[in-house]
Amino acid sequence: MEYLIIIISAVFVNNVVLSQFLGICPFLGVSKKVSTAFGMSLALVLVMGLATLVTYLIQNYVLINTWFGEKMDITFMQTIVFILVIAALVQMVEIILKKINPSLYQALGIFLPLITTNCAVLGASILVVTKEFAAKGVESHMMNLGESVVYSMSLAIGFGIAIILFAGMREQLELSNVPKALKGTPIALITAGLLALAFMGFQGIV
């Protein structure tokens, strides 16, 4: 039940793009076609799950731990450590995927390097270890490993839903007659604004 609340909260209520503003760059950049948007979100679910798994363990067993007989809290190194780990992880996923599943690599490969600079990955990894999870009917608490991974994968799914909806709209926009000054990014932003307005309707569910 608790996991269900976490999933709904992450996918709809706190949608990563439309209410938390993480990963706007790929949201605007790779949303011209539904098929590429789908590939991107699939790759993101994989990477965000893995990244959170690894960074959660690093946060709780490396940055906060007893070293040399002394209890140490070096969480100020968080930013540097996490971004390096994520960059290395993405490279590794790319190499492994190429070896064991070439067809999946063909589908996701081009999106993987882009993901390192997707702030949703770093954002989610920092969020789950620093912020408490709060929702209706659940006592607010720090998430454990399982909840963290589920939470950030749900964030990625939320990203997927938002970007696929958005790509569908942009495909239609291509065909319509848009005033010259609005062409390109401005009309995309305004469309995203309206989509965000629609997603605000989910507020208060959990």
Partner 1 sequence: MSKFKYLIDGIVKNNPTFVLVLGMCPTLATTTSAVNGMGMGLATMAVLLCSNMVISLLAPVIPNKVRIPCYIVVIAAFVTVVQLVMQAFTPGLYETLGIFIPLIVVNCIVLGRAEAFANKHSVGESALDGLGIGIGFTLALTCIGLIREILGNLSVFENKFSSSDGMLVFVLAPGAFLVLGYLMVLFNKLKDRKKKA
The DSSP secondary-structure symbol of 138 reads E
Q: According to the binding rule CB under 8 A, does residue 100 interact with partner 1?
A: no
Q: Is the dihedral of CA 16, 22, 25, 26 positive or negative?
A: negative
Q: According to the binding rule CB under 8 A, does residue 79 interact with partner 1?
A: yes
We find the least distance from the C-beta atom of residue 106 to partner 1, in angstroms, to be 24
Near partner 1 by CB under 8 A: residue from 6, 10, 22, 163: 22
Residue 174: CA count within 13 A, CB half-sphere: 10
Near partner 1 by CB under 8 A: residue from 7, 23, 63, 155: 23
Q: According to the binding rule CB under 8 A, does residue 19 interact with partner 1?
A: yes
Rg (CA), the chain: 18
Helix axes 145-175, 185-199, angle to 10 degrees: 130
Write the burial class of residue 140 (CB in 10 Å: 0-12 exposed, 13-18 middle, 19+ buried): exposed
Near partner 1 by CB under 8 A: residue from 4, 72, 95, 190: 190
Beta carbon nearer to partner 1, 105 or 166: 166
We find the least distance from the C-beta atom of residue 83 to partner 1, in angstroms, to be 5
Closest CA to 150 of 165, 131, 128: 128
**Interface with partner 1 in residues 123-142 (CB under 8 A):** 123, 126-127, 130
What is the total count of residues that contact partner 1 (CB under 8 A)?
42
Near partner 1 by CB under 8 A: residue from 48, 93, 122, 150: 122
